[in-house]
Chain A
Amino acid sequence: MKAKHQRLILALVALAALIGAGLLAASALKDEAAYFYAPGDVKAKGVEPGKAIRLGGMVVKGSLKRAADGVTMSFDVTDGKATVPATFSGIAPDLFKEGSGVVAEGSFDAKGTFIATNLLAKHDERYMPRELEGMSYNETTRVLQVDQ
């Protein structure tokens, strides 16, 4: 085989691989990119039940309740504009607490309760999820607050 032909074949293979990869990325991003919602967005735009999203906001003080099985809990998430009920089964992250920021991964059920499969709390006191911008961290009380 001539060097030119061989180079052409390689170039075509590379091109095909790149196009394939691009299509793969586009379709995967369309399906899998978990869109981030604050409770206000949920109220304004609506989220269909079962769609995988990330819900972020603050855990409302006094809303945290545990079920009888000891490992399921329910709480309300707010961004100051709206409040959404959520449940989670598992061991909550060490830094998950009332009055603190949380990003929950999961989906809504038919009744509008957010079923979280994973909770991402902040990892240290200076770390703030990008998604929780517009809420600020109070140095003295060590609590996230919604900017008014």
Chain B
Amino acid sequence: MIAETGLAALWLAASLALLQLVLAFVGVKGNKPDLLAAVRPAAVAQGVLTAIAFALLIALFMRSDMSVLLVATNSHSAKPWLYKFAGTWGNHEGSMLLWVTVMGVAGAAVALFERALRRDTHMATLGGQAAISLGFYAFLLFSSNPFARIDPAPADGQGLNPLLQDPGLAFHPPTLYLGYVGLSVAFSFAIGALLTRQVDASFARAMRPWVLGAWVLLTLGITAGSYWAYYELGWGGWWFWDPVENASLMPWLAATALLHSVTVLATRDALRAWTVMLAVVAFSMSMVGTFLVRSGILTSVHAFAVDPTRGSFILGLLALYIGGALALFGWRIGAVREGAPFELVSRETMLVINNLLLTVILGLVLIGTLYPLMTEAFGHKVSVGAPYFDRIAGPIALALMIAMAAGPLVRWRRDQARVVSKRLLIPFGIALLLSSLVSALAWGRIGILPFLGLVIAGSVAVASLAPLWKRNLRRTPLFTYGMVIAHLGCAVSLGGMASDSAFTVEKLVAARPGDTIETAGWQLRFLQIQPLAGDNWTALQADMEVRRNGASVTIHPQSRFFASPPTSTSEAALLTRWDGQLYVVLGEEVEGGRWQLRIWWKPFVTLIWLGGIMIALGGALALLGRERRGWLMKWRARAAA
């Protein structure tokens, strides 16, 4: 019954989306308030129905109902409850249901909480949201039904990929999806504004909180995913330029550009067409990413199943929505009047540079991700890997960081080059000081990119604090604090990346219990190997006594074996210190009773994710600042009345 109810809820939500689409567009076009009155309830009902369907699928997984095909192929009754729960979205159908649910709930939120937008644009936006939801309902219902039954039901399920059996699964995909699919709201806003020809500052002010919200969640999701891959895969790396990582990075790059251009539009009424374009591009990138991942067309950890019909279905949706949005853009953008002008030396120009660099990185990552597909069409098998992406993204990202440091120090509308260069003097001085320091310490030992990374991270960190210089800190708006913290976070993260690639020490040995290994100032005494058992796994665990001057700690790298599906994973042991992480992986037993050990000391690697969290926190503060001002104003207006 549960499965059938879930399926019914989905069908109902899909029909409501169709209704919402028709009502909104006919209502806006013919200006019929009675039709429009039903749009918001339809959007809210959709949000509720998708949430119900999703909750029911979770219930099926929790109860290990093996008569449901999806549960039987992806779950197992002996799994700990957390992985039954999170395993709901650890597969193709479940993750697509999560996608549709986020879209439905986001639509409901726009219906309920959006107050700043003009009414007709609001309705057209909800129509747009219904239009994109409809395609994904169709995808779910016709080619990826999560509620399909299997008869006869198997005695038990096939289990969840052990690599996914980690607390990270409970946090990373939902957060990422909230951001990823949350960008659909920006897309719908763009459609709505184009339809009602309302591309102006007030539209941008209404759209900004939604973009900020999605961007914050996307940032958190990517940061969490990076840390998860870092400790779970046991390769010691934090970013692999896997197509799926690119699929989340591309919307993030577009959303970051959008975040900055929407601010220009909101405060200065400039960059109108460009902002709308970015809103379309950002969610298009989410859809391209989904196509790449879900079609199985690319090799990836995240490619759950290879099914060509699904690929062509998503490709069709992609062509329809991106093509449709671009056509609407081309048709209507002529009607959008030119925005306000600005001088060459101005905050606006700096933000244009930011947008340009972000877009270039986006384009290059997209080319690198799609290139293997394009060449394969001509019969060559090519893989584009980390060397390409490092080489193209590295230098441009560094240029972007410099622009980011300088941008907030330039005034809106018009500024004087001489005054600006004076303000940049201190960061420049620091950069000079740092580079001489770093070169004195490490010249010749580290590569040029990590070297530049360290220098730029240091000076950008200082420059990003500069907007608070000589200001009354109590009266500085939360929005400014948000910007400062987010920019500082970029510098912190860059510092971590540069430090990791410059100073990491690696040691690979085969050791017997009783041996002591020394590396990078650490002493690791290999005590023993012992067997362990968990809920649905057994493991071999190495106990190692670790010390660097002073007290010792015991760490436990493991090799785990899962019965269903039969696989083994290695659980790296991580020891976090203020100045870095010790990362130990246990390998196999080799002849002579020795065990393979791979040990890394990674100085300041944790800054990478700390920076990511700071970026998200900055975004959240900016969001809170804007919203709080709105509440205050409303409250005052009410008090005055």
Question: Are A34 and B363 CB-contacts (below 8 A) given A90-B598, A126-B305?
Answer: no
Neighbouring B residues of A6 by C-beta, 8 Å: 341-344
Q: Are A32 and B385 in contact (CB under 8 A)?
A: yes
Neighbouring B residues of A13 by C-beta, 8 Å: 356
B window 583-641: CB within 8 A of A:
585, 587-588, 590-592, 594, 596, 598
State the CA gap A44–B508 with chains docked (Å): 36
State the CA gap A41–B120 with chains docked (Å): 61
State the CA gap A105–B384 with chains docked (Å): 12
Q: Are B510 and A131 in contact (CB under 8 A)?
A: no
Neighbouring A residues of B590 by C-beta, 8 Å: 66, 70-71
- B365-385 CB mask vs A (1 if < 8 Å, else 0) is 001100100000000111111
Q: Are B301 and A127 in contact (CB under 8 A)?
A: yes
Q: Are B368 and A25 in contact (CB under 8 A)?
A: yes
State the CA gap A131–B384 with chains docked (Å): 12
State the CA gap A126–B92 with chains docked (Å): 12
Neighbouring B residues of A131 by C-beta, 8 Å: 299, 381, 383
Q: Are A91 and B598 in contact (CB under 8 A)?
A: yes
Q: Which of B364, B510, B567, B570 contacts A24 (CB 8 A)?
A: B364
Q: Are A34 and B587 in contact (CB under 8 A)?
A: no
Q: Which of A71, A129, A142 contacts B509 (CB 8 A)?
A: A71
Q: Are A70 and B382 in contact (CB under 8 A)?
A: no
Most buried by B among A3, A33, A128: A33
Question: Are A28 and B391 CB-contacts (below 8 A) given A10-B352, A91-B234?
Answer: yes
Most buried by B among A36, A89, A129: A36
Chain A interface size band reads: 35 or more
> What's the minimum C-beta distance from B346 to chain A, rounded to whole angstroms?
10
Neighbouring A residues of B367 by C-beta, 8 Å: 25, 29
B306 is an interface residue with CB less than 8 A from chain A: yes
State the CA gap A14–B587 with chains docked (Å): 50
State the CA gap A3–B348 with chains docked (Å): 13
> What's the minimum C-beta distance from B368 to chain A, rounded to whole angstroms?
7
Q: Are B567 and A9 in contact (CB under 8 A)?
A: no
Determine the residue in chain A with the shortest Cβ distance to B366: A25
Neighbouring A residues of B305 by C-beta, 8 Å: 126
Q: B interface, by DSSP: helix, strand, loop or mixed?
A: mixed
State the CA gap A142–B585 with chains docked (Å): 26
Neighbouring B residues of A35 by C-beta, 8 Å: 380-383
A47 is an interface residue with CB less than 8 A from chain B: no
Q: Are A24 and B382 in contact (CB under 8 A)?
A: no
State the CA gap A131–B566 with chains docked (Å): 24
A48 is an interface residue with CB less than 8 A from chain B: no
Neighbouring B residues of A123 by C-beta, 8 Å: 161, 163, 301
Q: Which of B360, B392, B568, B594 contacts A94 (CB 8 A)?
A: B568
State the CA gap A105–B383 with chains docked (Å): 11
Q: Are A90 and B508 in contact (CB under 8 A)?
A: yes
B303 is an interface residue with CB less than 8 A from chain A: yes
Number of interface residues of B (CB under 8 A): 55
B273 is an interface residue with CB less than 8 A from chain A: no
Q: Are B508 and A71 in contact (CB under 8 A)?
A: yes
Neighbouring A residues of B559 by C-beta, 8 Å: 94
Determine the residue in chain B with the shortest Cβ distance to A1: B344
- B538-577 CB mask vs A (1 if < 8 Å, else 0) is 0000000000000000000001000001111110000000
Most buried by B among A24, A29, A52: A29
Q: Which of B357, B388, B566 contacts A32 (CB 8 A)?
A: B388
State the CA gap A100–B344 with chains docked (Å): 60
State the CA gap A3–B340 with chains docked (Å): 10
Q: Which of B392, B509, B588 contacts A25 (CB 8 A)?
A: B392
- A126-138 CB mask vs B (1 if < 8 Å, else 0) is 1111110000000
Q: Are A14 and B356 in contact (CB under 8 A)?
A: yes
Q: Are A32 and B568 in contact (CB under 8 A)?
A: no
Determine the residue in chain A with the shortest Cβ distance to B592: A70
> What's the minimum C-beta distance from A137 to chain B, rounded to whole angstroms?
11
Q: Are B343 and A36 in contact (CB under 8 A)?
A: no
> What's the minimum C-beta distance from A143 to chain B, rounded to whole angstroms?
12
> What's the minimum C-beta distance from B326 to chain A, rounded to whole angstroms?
18
> What's the minimum C-beta distance from A146 to chain B, rounded to whole angstroms?
16
Question: Are A25 and B567 CB-contacts (below 8 A) given A34-B383, A71-B508?
Answer: no
Q: Are A32 and B384 in contact (CB under 8 A)?
A: yes
- A6-20 CB mask vs B (1 if < 8 Å, else 0) is 100110011001100
Q: Are A21 and B363 in contact (CB under 8 A)?
A: yes
State the CA gap A6–B344 with chains docked (Å): 6
B258 is an interface residue with CB less than 8 A from chain A: no
Q: Which of B297, B304, B352, B570 contacts A91 (CB 8 A)?
A: B570
Question: Are A3 and B341 CB-contacts (below 8 A) given A34-B385, A70-B590?
Answer: yes
State the CA gap A122–B163 with chains docked (Å): 12
A82 is an interface residue with CB less than 8 A from chain B: no
Q: Are A34 and B384 in contact (CB under 8 A)?
A: yes
Q: Are B381 and A66 in contact (CB under 8 A)?
A: no
> What's the minimum C-beta distance from B461 to chain A, rounded to whole angstroms?
26
State the CA gap A84–B299 with chains docked (Å): 23
Q: Are A17 and B567 in contact (CB under 8 A)?
A: no
A-B contact pairs, 5 of them (CB 8 A): A9-B344, A10-B349, A25-B363, A66-B590, A70-B594
4 closest A-B pairs by beta carbon, nearest first, are A70-B510, A91-B587, A32-B387, A32-B388
| Additional A-B contact list (5), CB under 8 Å, known A91-B588, A128-B306 | A17-B357, A32-B391, A35-B380, A36-B382, A91-B598
